[in-house]
Chain A
């Protein structure tokens, strides 16, 4: 075990295309600095896991990528940038609404709208002004199939989404997110409120869908990170401590802190 403090990403698969490039990002909540000089590349067709103890900044970074932090008063990016397809997303000329159409998000607690299952999945399309019923029907079916939910709900599409079980609701939220074909899907502890069986289903789903999207998953569950992700980034106190191949991080972390966290000595 080598104790090096170099947080620079190692690049295990140089062929992978970079989808989101984060450079020297600093982020403040009021006067307290939540993120310090984060530099990180997220790759296409891969699942990246963010791990770290509570308050380490992993969720904050996640919410920077689709600028959900904009809604919280007193927050701002103080330095650095996030580029998606070579566009700096914090540029004043970026329409945040349009940005979010390409950067979907699944939340910790499943939050389907109090509408029918069908309307939940169709919501994103309707917001883009899609009116053609055939197009929407097709997109709904496709997304529900992708989310492995179609067989369970195809007979009750018009029933309220709130009648589904917790695991089904979370998969519905994933279906809703991918119905609009985003580039990046951000998942903020998507399984923390689910039982092990539902968790396994969601993980399997992520694994199957990763070929079409760039997944980022924030998790407290070490095993989950090990199971579903290709790369893992470990954060501590707002800093990126280590970012590397998941296998490598879990078998042979380079930083002492990472090892301590993974083996459960703190966190």
Chain B
């Protein structure tokens, strides 16, 4: 009725809306809570971006200094020198691996005998020192004290003899001989037990005997090693000059910053006298622009010299290759030799490309912003706080994170999904009641606790296992580092199993029971129903479980920081499967480790924020994909 449209409900009427209602208040309370979380999330993102995005201009400036001061020029040669050093080291390792491999029996025998003796000296050493001190100094030795010391010495001896290590390569007689020598050994004795010395001599002579046929190889290595001597000293001279240029540039930067601060302060001061004073100070701080041209000119004069040295090294290196032995008898030695030979062509082509690079290099080429981005994303070095030049390349960190995630998922996917399938499909209610809470309980263990279990138990056990003779067929054994990608991966697997298990179990549970019923009514067995109907129907949910597990693994910090070994280097993939037993650093670990120590606002500080942004984006992407799968599964 149009007439009524404008008429209000009378104030006193019971249909009249009340101005304030308790219900509304409650509504606003909850709305504000929800709103707050969104505001905080937005603030976090804004903060991350604000701190992080300043990184690229700053890094660009550093790379510019790197070029203007000539460090980049020196690095062209230095890179080849390093490659040369690595080849030399590979060959040396091959040489010693060959000798030690051939003298394996003698090596183990000597090591074991020495281990017996060491166990004894470690235990009795401190007491022995005390006895020697109190008898040696010429002063009247106190007999009472000496007696106590001697008694102690006997006690330590007994203890040491009770805890001697195993010696599988020594005969019982030989072991007995060493033990009896230790049993009668006096504190004053300085010679090693006779058999220990004899075995060491035996080893030395065997090694010498095996070195005999390898003499040519040895000489080749030596001549290769000395081939780079001239290039090395040239690089050293250039290094000195460019470092001082860089320092001058950096100092000028600092002065300039000071001056700006003073000027800004002067602008904010009202008192004219004070302002004059500050302006004068700012003027004084005005640095003269450091002279980069003169040292650069002298650096450029070295170009022909550098080129000549490179050509010489290339020539002698090319001549060395055919002189290397075709193969070596010991597996490890041969592998190292083959690795070196494989690296040779790359090394030679780098060497021959160097002269062109050197002659075309100029310090005036501008450094664009994209160079900083590319260097960050694809840089193979993460070097900070160094004297030479800082590099922020995330490749070694990303490789570490990915390899650890690979190990973790390789273990966690079969275990997590397998147990989910078992619990959901085959377990009796009693088993379910035990297994489910136990697996979910793992999640309750704080990651730092898992971390030190990893260091103390897992790392040590793995190390002990890896030196056992019967396990030497495992690639990568014996391992050099107790803390490595594999240990971190195993612990992260343990941490992600509950995530994968719970979500995969949910996914299996969400499969409508009508499917199972239909399948059974069609005469499918339990196993057939599980694998042909239930798992395919739950597949996207299981995939989501795996992705969320991956997100957990990538984002986990504490365990990797404690257990991954924290070596910032791209693992050496030439080691085959052994690559998984190398230490590594991760994207998360680097932030946790370095953020506390960097100066606020520095390029390094901002670099860590960019790593954080990267992690944020990656984990967000993984989770979003996972949720897409979950939604598809529940639809």
**Interfacial chain B residues near A173, Cβ < 8 Å:** 518
Measured CB to CB, the residues of B under 8 A from A are 512, 514-515, 517-525, 528, 532-533, 536-537
What is the chain B residue whose CB lies nearest that of A100?
B523
Measured CB to CB, the residues of A under 8 A from B are 66, 68, 71, 97-98, 100-101, 104-105, 107, 109, 111-115, 123-124, 126-128, 173, 176-177, 180
Contact present for B523 and A107 (CB under 8 Å): no
Q: How far is the CB of B432 from chain A (nearest CB, A)?
A: 13
Contact present for A128 and B523 (CB under 8 Å): yes
Contact present for A177 and B536 (CB under 8 Å): no
Contact present for A97 and B525 (CB under 8 Å): yes
Contact present for B517 and A104 (CB under 8 Å): no
Contact present for A101 and B514 (CB under 8 Å): no
**Interfacial chain A residues near B532, Cβ < 8 Å:** 123, 126-127
**Interfacial chain B residues near A177, Cβ < 8 Å:** 521-522
What is the chain B residue whose CB lies nearest that of A124?
B522
Contact present for B522 and A104 (CB under 8 Å): yes
**Interfacial chain B residues near A66, Cβ < 8 Å:** 521
Contact present for A123 and B514 (CB under 8 Å): no
Contact present for B515 and A113 (CB under 8 Å): yes
What is the chain B residue whose CB lies nearest that of A102?
B523
Q: How far is the CB of A67 from chain B (nearest CB, A)?
A: 10
What is the chain A residue whose CB lies nearest that of B429?
A73
Contact present for A68 and B523 (CB under 8 Å): no
Contact of A111 among B518, B523, B525, B528 (CB under 8 A): B518
Can you show 30 pairs from A to B with CB atoms below 8 A apart?
A: A66-B521, A68-B520, A68-B521, A71-B517, A71-B520, A97-B520, A98-B523, A100-B520, A100-B521, A101-B522, A101-B523, A107-B514, A107-B521, A111-B514, A111-B518, A113-B518, A113-B533, A113-B537, A114-B515, A123-B524, A124-B522, A124-B523, A124-B524, A127-B519, A127-B524, A127-B525, A128-B523, A173-B518, A176-B518, A180-B523
Given A113-B537, A114-B515, A114-B537, 15 more pairs with CB closer than 8 A: A68-B520, A71-B520, A97-B520, A100-B520, A100-B521, A104-B522, A111-B517, A115-B536, A123-B522, A124-B522, A124-B524, A127-B519, A127-B532, A128-B523, A177-B522
Q: How far is the CB of A175 from chain B (nearest CB, A)?
A: 12
**Interfacial chain B residues near A127, Cβ < 8 Å:** 519, 522-525, 528, 532
Q: How far is the CB of A37 from chain B (nearest CB, A)?
A: 26
Q: How far is the CB of B85 from chain A (nearest CB, A)?
A: 60
What is the chain A residue whose CB lies nearest that of B525?
A97
A113 to B520, CA, bound (A): 12
Contact present for B523 and A105 (CB under 8 Å): no
**Interfacial chain A residues near B515, Cβ < 8 Å:** 111, 113-114
A159 to B522, CA, bound (A): 21
Q: How far is the CB of A183 from chain B (nearest CB, A)?
A: 12
A126 to B528, CA, bound (A): 10
Q: How far is the CB of B525 from chain A (nearest CB, A)?
A: 5
A109 to B523, CA, bound (A): 19
